Amino acid sequence: MPKFSLEKIINANRDDVFEIFSNFENYQKLVPQHFPSVRTRSIRDNVSVVEEHILLGDIEFLIMAKHVSKPPITHDVFVIGGDVKGSHIRQEFIELEKGTKILVDVDLNLKGKLKISSMFGRNSFRHDYSKIIDDFAKIAEN
């Protein structure tokens, strides 16, 4: 299972950054190159269940994800069904004097061919996920 962490400083206030990163309902509109399809199944308070197609590099995953938000501090994504069921992504937003630091921890639960190819370095999930974070950051800074 690939586990990795990313850290990025974004030149925008924490509330705005949190809103961009946690607003999964707009992922398809904001970053269609990474999320070609997003469909909300259920929303209750700060917990939502969402069907998502996510592209990491040239690999498309179909997942059912539970998004848990604690504004403006954390946004957790638990993959409860689909291609990488059991995966977890945690985003933490730290307010800085002139911006926001985002800490991202990714724990991908790969199976079958994906697990084998990741063991031999054929997929760079860290690099591909970093591109998604960069694209969200650009939106937050504009």
Range of the domain at 103: 3-141
CATH number at residue 33: 3.30.530.20
Count: domains in the chain? 1
With a pLDDT cut of 90, the percent of the chain lying above it is 85
Angle at alpha carbon of residue 18, lines to 17 and 19, rounded to 5° = 90
What tokens were used for 53? 């197609």
Reported confidence tier of residue 5, pLDDT bands at 50, 70, 90:
very high
| Mean pLDDT on 76-95 | 97
With a pLDDT cut of 70, the percent of the chain lying above it is 91
Inform me whether the pLDDT recorded for 13 exceeds 90: yes
Inform me whether the pLDDT recorded for 122 exceeds 60: no
Does residue 2 or residue 49 have the better pLDDT?
49
| Distance from C-alpha of 89 to C-alpha of 108, rounded to nearest angstrom | 8
* pTM, 2 dp: 0.92
